[in-house]
A and B are shown apart, each in its own frame.
Chain A
Amino acid sequence: MAISLVKTSPPAAEPKPPLLEVRNIEVVYHDVVFAVKGVSLTVAAGQVVTLFGPNGAGKTSLVRAISRLLQSVEGEIRSGSVRFDGNALDTLAPHQIARRGLYQIPEGGNVIKELTVRENLLLSQFCRDGRGSLNDDYARVVDRFPLLKTREAQLGGYLSGGEQQMLSMAKALLANPRLLVLDEPSLGLSPMLMQENFGALRELNRDFGIAILAIEQNARVALDIASYGYVMESGRVVYDGPAEQLRENREIQEFYLGLEGGLKKSFRDVKHYKRRKRWLS
């Protein structure tokens, strides 16, 4: 499946076998902390899916599990499986998963501060498996993000937070994956930069057919670009559905979108809010 960085037509609408299939993943830290309690989700090719929820819900743990990066934080997958393009990822090392086309940008971006912008971008060549011409695609990417062009020789650490996120996006584009997993891409960004980055994400999906799984705390932005969403709380998926459905849902509106239905509540009502959440066990 060679995809070049030239713009293609938007993905077809017929149902496909899912690109990413997560089945009942359980993640445990230090043998005692149960972070992800059996989560399943799917991402189809070319789809934009979002996973949102409060702090500590286990979203980052899940995403680390998908890319098999739990060892350095003393976590392990206790049960469940992840399949990418029909192949199980159980026995693969993180770099092999990246090479197959599942590219993850962890929280805070994946910019290596001690390397220059150019060197950071060149790191993406290891995911490409020699597809296409690196130099041509490099030139195209740098043209798309002119800010990076002016800073090619600067160390990554000297870029601002938003610029680093942009660099991460550029690296992802150059790596040409089939699925891009982003952990909190809006974290710490000004609204303007956020719009720009999410615009770039939309472009990646529309023009290059890259599927996206975005983990977010900012549900509004997430539901803006996604076509499907999952809500995760306390290690479990508690609600999922197409984006419009999530946007209409009253509970989600209240807890994640900040829309309280207009009426001011008295403290007594707020105190009891937890009991109204249908899906809390």
Chain B
Amino acid sequence: MELFVQLLLTGIALGSGYALGGIGFVLIYKATGVFNFSHGQLTMAGAYFFYMFQVQLGLPPWWSVPAAVASMFAVGVLIERVCLRRMVGEPAITIIMLTIGLGALLRNLVGLVWGTQPQAPVPLFEPGYLSILSVQIPRVYVWTLVAAAIFIAGFVVYFRKSAQGIAMRAVAFHQDHAALSGISIQRVFALSWGLAGVTAAISGIMMVQLVGLDLSMDARGLSAFPAAILGGIDSIGGVIIGGLIIGAAESLAGGYLDPYLGGGAKEVVGYVVLLLILMLRPYGLFGTPEIRKV
């Protein structure tokens, strides 16, 4: 029982990271209709930027976080302006391939600049354990969960209440009506990608606290895909729940199945869930089904 609770709680902590990453996807998808396959690489880039600011440039950690976030915002906007603006109207496979190519480019650029050695940024939280529900949880996990919750809440409030948030949702639901209301579609697209970069950065920084920094991070960031699909790719609430479920499932699978399988169950479980969801309920738990015209 203790093992179960411990796995569950660590899974939720990890899942909150996925949820945060997933929000970035859902954001881009909702606003621009583009599914960004390079999200894992963006997450990795965010983490490396953080490392650069914190260790290589020596900024105190609570400066390097905003610096990394701002850089990734810029990267997101840059990607939108340079690559995606001219791809409006192209078929889905072209855009998907473009983001895949973008991901490959990003990954190799990161490797080029920082090399293959795993890096060791200074941890943001003190090591050690907290005792919750009579289970020992590493402090790191708790703090990342709290941080994720704060950011997610922040995003949700932003979307629901602020003028820009309403504008973004308007563009996501009906571009033409939004344009006629005086909303600049291009600005909203750029903002979406910028915000996706922000979520990727935060997600990456959090992941660094949990699993360290090396070039395999982008594969880990890939787990945000099942989270987004499970929750429903156009529902922010859905992706949060999806992320938590995937994180918990991975952790539980890793804990219970790994001894039999000799490891590796964690990564596969997410995709098994993904496949099941796609076959049974492709629009996810909370997504809205697409109505297609013949």
Contacts and interface: CB of A to CB of B under 8 A. Distances in A.
Direct contact of A and B (CB under 8 A): yes
Interface of A: 67, 69, 72, 93-96, 98-99, 103-106, 110-115, 119, 122-127, 171, 175
Contact of A119 (B166, B174, B185, B186): B166
B176 A106 contact: yes
Given A95-B183, A104-B180, A127-B181, 20 more contacts: A67-B180, A72-B175, A94-B179, A94-B180, A95-B181, A95-B182, A105-B180, A110-B181, A112-B178, A113-B174, A115-B169, A115-B170, A122-B166, A123-B183, A124-B181, A124-B182, A126-B163, A126-B181, A126-B182, A175-B181
B173 interface: yes
A97 B240 CA distance: 38
**Size class of B's contact patch?**
10 to 19
B184 interface: yes
A112 B182 contact: no
A108 B238 CA distance: 31
Contact of B184 (A95, A105, A106, A124): A95
B176 A98 contact: no
5 contacts: A93-B184, A95-B182, A113-B173, A114-B173, A122-B166
Contacts of A122: 163, 166
B23 to A, nearest CB: 18
B173 A69 contact: no
B182 A127 contact: yes
A240 to B, nearest CB: 26
Interface in B108-166: 163, 166
Contacts of A96: 184
Nearest to A94: B179
B179 A98 contact: yes
A175 B183 CA distance: 12
8 residue pairs, one from A and one from B, having the closest CB atoms: A126-B182, A127-B182, A94-B179, A98-B182, A123-B181, A114-B173, A110-B177, A99-B182
Contacts of B183: 95, 123, 126
Contacts of B176: 69, 72, 94, 106
A125 B163 contact: yes
Given A72-B175, A72-B176, A106-B176, A171 B170 contact: no
B174 A112 contact: yes
Contact of A126 (B167, B169, B175): B167
Nearest to B165: A119
Given A112-B170, A115-B166, A119-B166, A98 B175 contact: no
B223 to A, nearest CB: 29
Q: Considering residues B169, B181, B184, which has the most beta carbons from chain A within 10 angstroms of its beta carbon? A: B181
Given A114-B169, A114-B173, A115-B173, A69 B180 contact: yes
Nearest to A123: B181
Contacts of A125: 163
Contact of B173 (A94, A95, A112, A175): A112
